[in-house]
Amino acid sequence: MKSILSKRGKIIAAFIVLYLAVFILSFSIGRFPVGPAELIRILLSRMLPIEKTWTDQAESVVFIIRLPRILVASLVGMALAVSGHIFQIIFRNPMVSPDVLGCSAGAGFGASLALLYGLSGMGVSLSAFAMGLLAVLLVWKIGSAMRGNHILGLILSGIMISSIFQSGTSFVKLVADPDNELPAITYFLMGSLAGTGRDELRLIIVPMMAAVIPVLLLSWRLNILSLPEEEALSLGIPVRMIRAIAIASASLMTALTVAVAGMIGWVGLVIPHITRMTTGTDSRTSVPASMLLGAAFLTAVDTASRSITTSEIPIGILTSFIGAPFFLYLILKEGRQ
């Protein structure tokens, strides 16, 4: 018993170490590198009396530019990974993710609609959330109505609903004012963390925590939700309530990522898979591990996107380059079984 508990602790600790390594490393890469020792001293100086050995410039790079951006990247990565993980459990389907289920496309449509009406910040997030949730519910209903292969049913209805919402987004772009709103919407949906900072961090940090904490508390019961529905019911758990909480949390997190970073694909599909391969399936371990790996992954990719070339590569392009081949690999592996 003890050894099992400590094993779980060790796995999560290893993922925390991995995340912290990426976190520190990403400060030391870029146009104004801040080394690990200097970074730690600067961060601690806000709490402890440490003699100042760094320049004002280094301090402002850390606090005003890089720290907020790295935190936003971490939160977005965490949110995409954990919402993918939740969807995969709730729909009993390892091939789904926020993008496959149409949640991202729905949220993108919601966000562009809000931008068309001149809303910002909170309004964009709420609209993204509402449409993202609507898309998932539609995909779920249509997917379950299809007889036969349930896994395929969900994916096909996801493609269809995504396509409808994408057409909606295109329509919004068509009617948008080409001088102001159109560039804003296009840029917004591109999937980029360029220019994100304190405002974005402030917008998402509280709702994301509010969405992720219930999921962590319910993580053991999520195991049971991956059983056939009648078995879960026979174990006396409130299946509908937990499912509703989980879907709402995952949709909210996805919508928030869209509201600050646009559409970033594949993270929600790939990261939960890699996590389960490493930690096993028990959600008590794999859900927190997914969060940490997602945060580390997106922080690393964002660091690459801002330092590979002189002009930033939108992060969505990079995650697709990594995620799409992985999805292909999964399909081939699934086909062989």
Closest distance of CB 94 from another protein, Å: 7
State the Cα–Cα distance between residues 80 and 259, nearest whole angstrom.
13
To another protein, the closest distance from the beta carbon of 325 in angstroms equals 23
Q: How far is the CB of 4 from another protein (least distance, A)?
A: 8
Q: What angle do CA 200, 206, 212 make, to 5 degrees?
A: 115
At its nearest, how many Å lie between another protein and the CB of residue 278? 14
Q: Indicate whether 249 belongs to the interface with another protein (CB under 8 A).
A: no
Please give the residues from 74 up to 133 whose contact with another protein meets the rule CB under 8 A: 89, 92-94
Interface pattern 217-246 for another protein (x via CB under 8 A): xxxxx-xx-xxx-xx-xxxxxx--------
Q: Which residues contact 48 (CB under 8 A, 6 or more apart)?
A: none
Closer residue to another protein (CB): 219 or 249? 219
Reduced to 3 states (helix: H, G, I; strand: E, B; else coil), residue 129 is helix
- Count of positions on this chain that bind another protein (CB under 8 A): 30
For another protein, the closer of residues 137 and 237 by Cβ is: 237
> Considering the complex, what minimum distance in angstroms separates the CB of residue 237 from another protein?
5
Nearer to another protein, 68 or 84 (CB): 84
CA distance linking residue 306 with residue 308, whole number of Å: 6
Through-space distance between the first and last CA atoms of the chain, rounded to whole angstroms: 34
71 or 239: whose CB is closer to another protein? 239
Pick one of 119, 214, 312, 324: the residue that binds another protein (CB under 8 A). 214
CA angle 47–50–54, rounded 5-degree value: 110
* Per-residue b or e along 125-164, where b marks 16 or more CB atoms closer than 10 Å to that residue's CB: bbbbbbbbbbbbbbbbebbeeeeeeebebbbebbeebbee
What is the SS3 assignment for 244-284?
HHHHHHHHHHHHHHHHHHCCCCCHHHHHHHHHHHHHCCCHH
Smallest gap, in angstroms, from Cβ of residue 286 to another protein? 9
276 makes contact with another protein (CB under 8 A): yes
CB 99 within 8 A of CB 235: no
Give dist(CA 268, CA 216) in Å, integer: 17
CB of 329 to another protein, least distance (A): 18
Give the whole-angstrom CA distance, residue 197 versus residue 330: 35
Task: Using CA atoms of 199, 294, 315, 117 in order, give the dihedral in degrees to the nearest 10.
Answer: -40
CB of residue 214 vs another protein: minimum separation in angstroms?
8
Our CB check for another protein shows the closer of 177 and 231 to be 231
Residues 6+ positions from 210 with CB-CB distance below 8 Å: none
Residue 90: both structure tokens together? 């709730």
Question: Which residue lies nearer to another protein by CB, 86 or 300?
Answer: 86
Considering only residues 278 through 297, tell me which ones interact with another protein, judged by CB under 8 A. Answer: 280-282, 284
| Closest distance to another protein from the beta carbon of 262 (Å) | 31
Q: Rank residues 97 and 112 by Cβ distance to another protein and give the closer one.
A: 97
Nearer to another protein, 92 or 198 (CB): 92
Choose between 4 and 48: whose C-beta lies nearer to another protein: 4
Site for another protein, rule CB under 8 A: 1, 4, 89, 92-94, 214, 217-221, 223-224, 226-228, 230-231, 233-238, 276, 280-282, 284
